[in-house]
Amino acid sequence: MSIKKVMVIGAGQMGSGIAQVCAQAGFDVLLNDMNEVAIDKGLANIEKLLTRAVDKERITAEEKENTLNNLTKSTQLQDAKSCDLVIEAVIENMDVKTKVFQQLDEITPKHAILASNTSSLPITEIAAVTKRPDQVIGMHFMNPVPVMKLVEIIRGLQTSDETYQAIENMTNELRKTPVEVNDFPGFVSNRILMPMINEAIYTVYEGVATPEDVDTVMKLGMNHPMGPLTLADFIGLDTCLYIMEVLYEGFGDSKYRPCPLLRKYVKAGWLGKKSGRGFYEYN
């Protein structure tokens, strides 16, 4: 099937990044959020990034204009009635996501594919609340979306080959690299990344080294672009804890137990960059 019109639900950092790359690839994009202020903020950020790309001669002024023209604000889920694909990027909460998918199942045309950008919730369970589980799939983009090349494509238990193929083709059109993954806790990316971050936190918790030194070891020793604690602050410590809980519960294996220091920071409201403090302080 051919995808032309896309709705992205959630105008936060991930949602606006996804909307940007879809619009840049020529798709007709509705950026949807219940909160109009959030959409304006998302669109302003997209414009800022595009202006920077023009200044650096990565794209032309015409490409910037075309991208902005491909983006439309939407505050009503009903607007999904004309879409071929909906990509949901709302908060990581199963109740919220299943409510959105139930509504989308009623609103969208029969042929539409419903995708979730969830970083760890089971696609199979989200799909099960719809009458089209074969057309539900995971499209897990990485942060920052305009920069990172990967999209993990997660097949739920009932996702059809046709749906998978359409999403793989679209991911290639976005100039991203698709990787096919089956639906298990944390998929591939977070099953590997989060235990590494959790272990880095244990290293600090047990007094082996300071956050700065742990990060330096991984940056200079392993050529990671960011140390694991800087990355944890960047992702959000609440998100890291949430994903560790999903792994711990999903596999029932103690190797995924979240570090007590991670829990303590989240309880203190030290959520990383977004709250001004995590393993580091931000002004």
Residue numbers belonging to the annotated binding site for NAD(+): 10-15, 33, 92, 97, 119, 143, 274
Which of 189, 196, 248, 261 forms a contact with ligand CAA (CB under 6 A)? Answer: 189
Whose Cβ is closer to ligand CAA: residue 18's or residue 83's? 18
Beta-carbon neighbour count of residue 173 at 10 Å?
13
Amino acid at 88: E
Whose Cβ is closer to ligand CAA: residue 225's or residue 252's? 225
Active site residue 254: no
The piece of 24-32, 145-153, 207-215, 260-268 that touches ligand CAA (CB under 6 A) is 145-153
Active site residue 190: yes
Beta-carbon neighbour count of residue 172 at 10 Å?
13
Our finding on whether 260 is near ligand CAA (CB under 6 A) is: no
Active site residue 152: yes
Q: Are 121 and 97 in contact (CB under 8 A)?
A: yes
- Distance, CA of 154 to CA of 152 (rounded, Å): 6
- Distance, CA of 194 to CA of 258 (rounded, Å): 10
Our finding on whether 146 is near ligand CAA (CB under 6 A) is: yes
The least distance separating ligand CAA from the CB of residue 193, rounded to whole angstroms, comes to 6
- Beta-strand ranges (E) seen in the chain are 5-9, 28-32, 71-74, 85-88, 113-116, 136-141, 150-155, 177-182
Our finding on whether 144 is near ligand CAA (CB under 6 A) is: yes
Our finding on whether 75 is near ligand CAA (CB under 6 A) is: no
Q: Are 22 and 6 in contact (CB under 8 A)?
A: yes
Per-residue binding string, ligand CAA, 33-52, x by CB under 6 A, is: ----------------x---
C-alpha distances (whole Å) from 175 to each of 22, 27, 171, 273 are 10, 13, 7, 29
Phi, psi of 185 (to 5 degrees): -50, 130
The piece of 32-40, 81-89, 164-172, 187-195 that touches ligand CAA (CB under 6 A) is 187-195
The piece of 102-110, 136-144, 174-182, 266-274 that touches ligand CAA (CB under 6 A) is 136-144
Residues that bind ligand CAA (CB under 6 A): 49, 56, 119, 142-144, 146-148, 189-190, 193, 225-226, 231, 235, 239
Residues annotated catalytic, as ranges = 119, 140, 152, 190
